[in-house]
Amino acid sequence: MRTENVSKIYGRTAAVRKISLTLEPGRFYVLRGENGAGKSTLLRMIAGLNEPTEGSIHIFGTPNKEALHQVGYMAHAPLLYDELDGLENLRFFAQLYGIAGDELLIQAMTRVGLDAKLSRRVGQYSQGMRQRLSLARAIFHSPRLLLLDEPFSNVDPDSALQIAKLLAAMRTGGNTILLVTHQIGLLTNLADEYILLSHGELVERGDMPGLEEQGLQEHGAQRPEARK
Amino acid sequence: MMPSASSMSITRLTWINVTKDLRLEWRSRDVFNSMMFFALVVVVVFSFAFEREDSRPVMGGLIWIAFLFSTTMALNQSWARELRNGVLDAYRVSPAPAEALFLGKCLGNFILIMLLECLMAPLFVVFYNLSSVGPLWQLVLIAVLGTWALVVNGTFFAAMSIRTRNRELMLPLLLLPISVPAVISMVTATSQVLTGEGAPVVQMKFLAGFCVIFTTACFLLFETVLNAE
């Protein structure tokens, strides 16, 4: 994935300013920054939901909008229909990707720790269950690039750790992951690199181990092993 | 190798959207109940205003007032459902074409409104002692063409107004002026069939032309509207 001088300007406010970024395949990146730093906007532009005001975005060598079938996107909102149950939701979205049959969907639900037989409608799910189902929606088609915006919010610590490990396994399987989170402590041993944004600009980029101590101190987070 | 959505036919994706919309509506019934209630109120209230014998000349207008405002209500809600939980974004990040969503929404809304019209027809007959002087098939054809004209424009303009703050107000403001020619045709044609005076075929041809032109234009422009920020 490559962005070249990507900017997003709303009226007189620049949400993202001239960000040039290259993500290598099979690596796990954490996108950090204060609230309003432009993390979600950048993610939305990569996913093709927002058009950059200037600059270009390429995924696996093609313009991002032509590579949508290779991208999985998880947003703040769950992107699910409340009136359908979990499997029905996934079934609908799978059909948009040309996927027939439930096998991949059940597999995705199992991977995020949800029971595919659960007939409860999503409107009756807890926030954490919605978040997991939303992740299942983002990964059922085995995307090569996974864009995740705050996947650990509203999720209990054990589930968050489970999701983090799932993502690390996906990275090992060759997927590229770009994840926005404030819970950096969960990923110190799992992610490869961090990218720091501030006021819409890319200010720092480095390997995760270098961030470990800083992250633990800044956010008061615990190492996954030290959780118990 | 996983088949890509672009290789799937637009017809199949449209049908997937139709069945999804009808399933959501079957489970929530929020659109249909409000449409039904509004149409019922119009029928009952106006039945007190007109003598049963005098109502025939104005029935064309009355019938379409009930359906026009019910349609506006339905269209707003059908898009509001896509905004809840940001589901529309999940569609936009998929490789499925925007046109399939548009046609799916149009057909889903069309089916719901035709169902409403079928349920309301006996009530119009009972409350206004209504019978058709002209051929009944013409009335059915006018209902189909008129409903499609409203639905196709309404679905398009509702999509255009979903991101505005006053979307409930925006839709009628956009839809009604552009639909005036179609509304005049459907009201005139309906009155002509009910009274047996005039030639409704001319109006029906105009309505068919309106449907073809606006369906084509909305179909071609929908992707731009969907991705507008």
What pLDDT digit, counting tens, does each position of B83-129 carry? 889 999 999 999 999 999 999 999 999 999 999 999 999 998 888 88
Say yes or no for a CB contact (<8 Å) between A83 and B87.
no
Q: What pLDDT does residue B133 have?
A: 79
CB contact under 8 A, A51 and B227: yes
Contact A96 B16 (CB under 8 A): yes
The dihedrals phi and psi of B24, each to the nearest 5 degrees, come to -60, -40
What digits encode the pLDDT tens for the residues A166-175? Answer: 888 888 888 9
Which strands form A13-22's sheet, in the order they lie side by side? A13-22, A2-10, A54-59, A62-63
Nearest to B229 among A47, A51, A88 (CB): A51
ipTM of this predicted complex? 0.86
Number of other residues whose CB lies within 10 A of the CB of residue A65: 16
Instruction: Using pLDDT thresholds of 50, 70 and 90, give the confidence band for residue A209.
Output: low
B11 contacts chain A (CB < 8 A): no
3-state SS assignment for residue A13? strand
Name the band, by pLDDT with cuts 50, 70 and 90, for residue A224.
very low
Q: How far is the C-alpha of B149 from the C-alpha of A35, rounded, in Å? A: 46
Residue B3 lies in a domain: no
Q: Would strands A28-33 and A145-149 be described as parallel, antiparallel, or unpaired?
A: unpaired
Whether residue A75 and residue B13 make contact (CB cut-off 8 A), yes or no, is: no
Distance from CA of B91 to the nearest CA of A (A): 8
Q: If you average pLDDT over residues B209-218, what whole number do you get?
A: 96
Q: Which residue has the higher pLDDT, A186 or B191?
A: B191
In a domain, B209, yes or no: yes
Q: What is the pTM of this model?
A: 0.88
Measured CA to CA in angstroms, residue B18 lies from A127, A139, B23, B82 at distances of 28, 25, 9, 13
Using an 8 Å CB-CB cutoff, list chain B residues near A137. 90
How many beta-carbon pairs under 8 angstroms link A with B?
Answer: 84
B229 touches chain A (CB under 8 A): yes
A137 interface with B at CB cutoff 8 Å? yes
B78 contacts in A (CB within 8 Å)? none
pLDDT mean over A80-108: 94
pLDDT digits (tens, 9 = 90+) for A49-68: 999 999 999 998 899 888 88
| C-beta of residue A183 within 8 angstroms of C-beta of residue A218 | no
Rounded Cα distance between B93 and A71, Å, is 8
What chain A residue is nearest to B229 in terms of C-alpha separation?
A50
Position A178 scores a pLDDT of 94
Q: Cα A101 to the chain's mean position, in Å? A: 25
Structural domains of chain B, count: 1
Do residues B51 and B140 touch, judged by C-beta distance below 8 A?
no
pLDDT mean over A66-86: 92
The per-residue pLDDT for B26 is 94
Task: Using DSSP, state whether A121 is helix, strand or coil.
Answer: strand
From the list B84, B89, B95, the residue facing A75 with the nearest CB is B89
Q: Which residues constitute the domain of residue B64?
A: 10-19+26-227
Closest residue in B to A138 (Cα) is B90
> What percentage of chain A reaches a pLDDT higher than 90?
56
Which residues of A are less than 8 Å from B79 in CB distance? none
Mean pLDDT confidence for A122-129: 90
Averaged pLDDT for residues A128-156: 91
CB of B16 within 8 Å of a chain A CB? The answer is yes
B6, B91, B229 member nearest A50 (Cβ):
B229
Q: Distance (Å) from the C-alpha of residue A48 to the closest C-alpha of chain B? A: 7
Using the beta-carbon criterion (under 8 Å), do B2 and A82 form an inter-chain contact?
Answer: no
Quickly count: other Cβ atoms within 10 Å of residue B9's Cβ.
9
A96-110, B43-57, B142-156: range with lowest mean pLDDT: B43-57
Query: How large is the average pLDDT for residues A125-151?
Result: 92
| Cα–Cα nearest to A17, from A28, A29, A35, A3 | A3
Residues of A whose CB is below 8 A from B13: 95-96
Listed by start position, the domains of chain A span 2-81+143-227
B149-172 mean pLDDT: 88
Q: What is the pLDDT of residue A216?
A: 43
pLDDT given for residue B74 in this prediction:
86
Helix (H) or strand (E) holding A12: none
In angstroms, the CA A180 to CA A77 distance is 14
CATH: 3.40.50.300, 1.10.10.10, 3.20.20.70, 3.40.630.10. Which one for A2-81+143-227? 3.40.50.300
Contacts of A96 in chain B (CB under 8 A): 5, 13, 16, 91, 94-96
Q: Which one of B85, B89, B91, B225 would you mutate to disrupt binding with A, by most A Cβ within 10 Å of its Cβ?
A: B85
Average pLDDT over chain B reads 89
